[in-house]
Structure 1
Amino acid sequence: MINESAVFWSRVLTELTLSFHIIYATIGVGVPLMIMIAQWVGYKNNDEHYILLARRIARGFVITVAVGVVTGTAIGLQLSLLWPNFMQLAGQVIALPLFMETFAFFFEAIFLGIYLYTWDRFESQKKHMLLLIPVAIGASMSAVFITIVNAFMNAPQGFDIVNGQIVNIQPVLAMFNPAMPTKVAHVLTTAYMTAAFVLASIAAYRLIRGSDHVYHKKSLYLMMKLGLVFSIATAVVGDFSGKYLAEYQPEKLAAAEWHFETEKGATLILFGVLDDGEVKYSINIPWGLSILAHNNPNAEVIGLDQFPEDERPPLYIHYLFNIMVFIGMFLALVALVFVVGKWRKWTFTNAKWFRWIIVMGGPLAIIAIETGWWLAEVGRQPWILRGIMRTAEGATTSDSVDLMLILFSIVYLVLGIGSVVVLRRMFRNNPIEQEIADRIAERGGDLQ
């Protein structure tokens, strides 16, 4: 028996938890690679500024990891409490990637602890830098395995259902489902891109506030270059994702693009509003959707008319898709202008107004991550396990979920405010100017 109230509050609580967790999870996946690259650049160029950059980022990273562990644990708890029917059906299949995700996290955490503890204990920076390789690998693999679980929910395979029970389970086949390659690649590239723009945002803000130190300028330049590289990679992967949806989840693509009728030479619709089923005030790109879906301007694209109304995703995901794409394009453009501007010595790249645009890049990247995940999850509706189990069928029937929502909301509020306060105090009490002065005193000369 389905309890509609329990289903609603379960979805709200799950969305809240994932929306909060994805911020720390994205930082947790992307930042280790940024730390490794910064320290590698410092070692290669014998530049202490980049090594200090790696060191300071690593300190702040520990705080975000701690919060990510708490929220990640909450997700695991809520899977069992809020979605017991889903876990009863699919739990045996997703157990392997969930276990591997935990293993990858501990692999990352062990080497991160060793890396932090052994600062200044290695005569060779190269040997110390090598500790970051398993940290970055562990962080990325943690994202890979948990994303595989989500991919399985979109393209379930590797089992048979007999009398309502899953049998003949093939965990490896289930993990390597059709949705896995594009979803994993998209999660990784967007995490790296977001981490780069967040760190660039911090550096630009410090420059605006008057800390015109070469350390912040080097940090900004490095992170904007990395942001440009990974934003381009994200765009490429996004194109593959569109082609995956056209073949395997056409209803999701049709809802996201407001493509109501199956046709050849389909138009790509950007923004707009719906008025009695008619799209108004939109930006239309002729043949754009056919090109996105099949690389052929005359290709046929399946519309929502091919699916029953109760199997169509909510149409508001169209706006989520547009926001995600336009933010990504904007960030790529800003990074390109900055990098080319530095190369061509355009003075406006040092202007206060342009640095404020870069500062906006950090929050905008987080918004793009959020809308991307909402698109991924809402776009699968009404299914929790596509084609097999509806979301309402997988939910709990408890009447206490609304109380759980209040309690978890308080926890997330405390964690969010607490992490910001701790990070601010950590860096305010240990300014970069003082740390550079200490390093100069240790070295007996200027830093490069």
Structure 2
Amino acid sequence: MKTELEESTLTEHVLPDPLMLARIQFAGNITFHILFPTISIALGWVLLFFKLRHNKTSDAKWAEAYQFWVKIFALTFALGVVSGITMSFQFGTNWPGFMETVGNIAGPLLAYEVLTAFFLEATFLGIMLFGAQRVSNRMHTLATCLVAGGTTLSAFWIIALNSWMHTPAGFEMIDGRAHATDWLAIVFNPSMPYRLTHMLIASGLTVAFLIAGISAYRWLRRDRSPAVMSALKTGVVLAALLIPVQILVGDMHGLNTLKHQPAKIAAMEGIWETERGAPLLLFALPDASQRTNHFEIAVPNMASLILTHELDGELQGVNAFKDRHPPVAPVFWAFRVMVGVGMLMLAASWLAAWQLRRGGDVKPWVARALVAMSFSGWVATVAGWYVTEIGRQPYLVYGVLTTAQAASTVPPQLIATTLAMYLTLYAALIVAYVTVLFHLARKAGPGRGTEPVYPVPGLPAPQSQLVKS
């Protein structure tokens, strides 16, 4: 039998240190969780749009579109809630130092999210899903509006807390603990408006491509019903309108980050030494051991022009921050994945919008491209979130609390075991979620599953409606 010393030595060689395991576990949890609020935030407003269009036109196609997408909203909302609860437990198990140090600020903000947003969503979601035949049309519309508003209010509080962790303000440290001195400064901290806007638009783009992709999938299966075409056009037009706005907001967010977190910008741009006229790296292989890049493909002066609006503007390099900077390669590549997917979104949405405007339909190859990009919003959102969160390292609360200071002393074996369980479960749930979405799309083919979830003037309400809903 192995001695305790031998087991300890074996663990050290086989497993990463507990801090890295805890970080990976939380990253896996937040990666899975963020997928679903990213959809539910904007999808609630799209459902309200479908509802209002039906109220105004009495056209059954909008009711049919509502019925199909409200099922997806319910499924998405449920997964988002469950994964969020699991994630919150890790504050106590893996990161006790977080609440010990900044709990006076983080606790109230999380409580506000539950009291003002989650209860609102949970209360009126039931009316939205099952009350169409039991309440008036006005009440059903109001419920849809309140649920949509609740998802956005939830995002507001979560982004307020996350932004404060990046750009802390309105507090003072007393005996090693943060105490609020100005709640308005805490909530509306320097990066909060940019992060909230960026996230809400990202949610809109995620939903736009999801709607366009699933609708294109139904279109390719010969379901050319008015409801499908209306949803397809809604998704394409929404994406085409939002992507240029997101590019503008992203630029503004980058300038704000340069001001408050220059080390993150240095990692994003792969700049090791402080320099003027820094090039924009289209491709490079950052080497942390040699603190340089290999195989660079660069546009001269372009990084300085974008970030300082001057060709010879000075940008600080990673080396200027000594050991207080994030790992360069993950931030560098995540940023390029986010931007690359954004450029694909721009091309796909504008091409599809042009074809719809010109001929009222899309070409089959464009429809296939939209299907392939159904979850492109997920890729861009996760990549952007990695830039944000990894780029904050080594801090958990920027300049106040490091990640190492907040970590627990849970043995690495326990963290590794639960990490494996989490990742296995999350992988299965994502596969199941995507499978169910396309199953619903196939099931709602021509002439099937298109009854409205609420009465449509001139059409009888099916007796089986409540069972099907």
TM > 0.5: yes
Q: Give the letter aligned to residue 239 of structure 2.
A: G
Contact kept in structure 2, 1:271 and 1:319, CA below 8 Å: no
Contact kept in structure 2, 1:200 and 1:219, CA below 8 Å: yes
Q: CA RMSD in A?
A: 2.6
Distance (whole Å) between structure 2 residues aligned to residue 73 and residue 438 of structure 1: 33
Distance (whole Å) between structure 1 residues aligned to residue 431 and residue 56 of structure 2: 38
Instruction: Please list the CA deviations of residues 289-345 of structure 1 after superposition, one character each: whole Å capped at 9, or x if unmatched.
Output: 223223333332222232113434433311110110111121122111111222222
Distance (whole Å) between structure 2 residues aligned to residue 444 and residue 108 of structure 1: 30
Q: Give the letter aligned to residue 293 of structure 1.
A: L
Q: Structure 1: which 5+ runs fail to align?
A: none
Contact kept in structure 2, 1:266 and 1:289, CA below 8 Å: yes
Going from structure 1 to structure 2, the CA distance change for 1:79 and 1:425 (only over 3 Å counts) comes to: same
Q: How does 1:229-248 map to 2 (within 5 A)?
A: 229-248=241-260
Contact kept in structure 1, 2:318 and 2:325, CA below 8 Å: no
Instruction: Please list the CA deviations of residues 166-212 of structure 1 after superposition, one character each: whole Å capped at 9, or x if unmatched.
Output: 34544432222112111111111101110111111101111112323
Going from structure 1 to structure 2, the CA distance change for 1:113 and 1:315 (only over 3 Å counts) comes to: same
Q: Which moved more, 1:147-156 or 1:291-300?
A: 291-300
Name the SS for the 1:350 alignment partner.
coil
Going from structure 1 to structure 2, the CA distance change for 1:345 and 1:6 (only over 3 Å counts) comes to: same
Give the match for residue 342 of structure 2.
328
Name the SS for the 2:132 alignment partner.
coil
Q: How does 1:128-277 map to 2 (within 5 A)?
A: 128-167=140-179, 169-274=181-286, 276-277=290-291
Instruction: Please list the CA deviations of residues 384-409 of structure 1 after superposition, one character each: whole Å capped at 9, or x if unmatched.
Output: 11112211111111112222213333
Q: How does 1:107-146 map to 2 (within 5 A)?
A: 107-121=120-134, 124=137, 128-146=140-158
Contact kept in structure 2, 1:93 and 1:169, CA below 8 Å: no
Q: Give the letter aligned to residue 72 of structure 1.
A: G
Name the SS for the 1:269 alignment partner.
strand
Name the SS for the 2:264 alignment partner.
helix
Contact kept in structure 1, 2:52 and 2:141, CA below 8 Å: yes
Distance (whole Å) between structure 2 residues aligned to residue 168 and residue 99 of structure 1: 15
Give the match for residue 458 of structure 2.
443
Q: Give the letter aligned to residue 322 of structure 2.
A: P
Give the match for residue 299 of structure 2.
285
Give the match for residue 416 of structure 2.
402
Asked if 1:15 corresponds to 2:27, the answer is yes
Going from structure 1 to structure 2, the CA distance change for 1:385 and 1:353 (only over 3 Å counts) comes to: same
Task: Provide the identity percentage.
Answer: 27
Work out which of the residue numbers 77, 80, 86 in structure 2 matches 1:74.
Answer: 86
TM-score by length of 2: 0.86
| 1:214 shift after superposition | 3.0
Asked if 1:380 corresponds to 2:392, the answer is yes
TM-score by length of 1: 0.90
Give the match for residue 60 of structure 2.
48
| 1:370 shift after superposition | 1.1
The count of aligned residue pairs is 440
Name the SS for the 1:443 alignment partner.
coil
Going from structure 1 to structure 2, the CA distance change for 1:250 and 1:433 (only over 3 Å counts) comes to: same
Asked if 1:306 corresponds to 2:306, the answer is no
Contact kept in structure 1, 2:282 and 2:296, CA below 8 Å: yes
Name the SS for the 1:161 alignment partner.
strand
Instruction: Please list the CA deviations of residues 248-304 of structure 1 after superposition, one character each: whole Å capped at 9, or x if unmatched.
Output: 111101110012222333222122224655544444233322232233333322222
Going from structure 1 to structure 2, the CA distance change for 1:130 and 1:168 (only over 3 Å counts) comes to: closer
Distance (whole Å) between structure 1 residues aligned to residue 335 and residue 451 of structure 2: 47
Q: Which moved more, 1:85-94 or 1:47-56?
A: 47-56
Asked if 1:433 corresponds to 2:447, the answer is yes
Going from structure 1 to structure 2, the CA distance change for 1:274 and 1:82 (only over 3 Å counts) comes to: closer
Q: Give the letter aligned to residue 286 of structure 1.
A: P
Q: Give the letter aligned to residue 359 of structure 2.
A: K
| 1:158 shift after superposition | 2.1
Q: Structure 2: which 5+ runs fail to align?
A: 1-11, 461-469
Q: Which moved more, 1:85-94 or 1:401-410?
A: 401-410
Going from structure 1 to structure 2, the CA distance change for 1:249 and 1:437 (only over 3 Å counts) comes to: closer
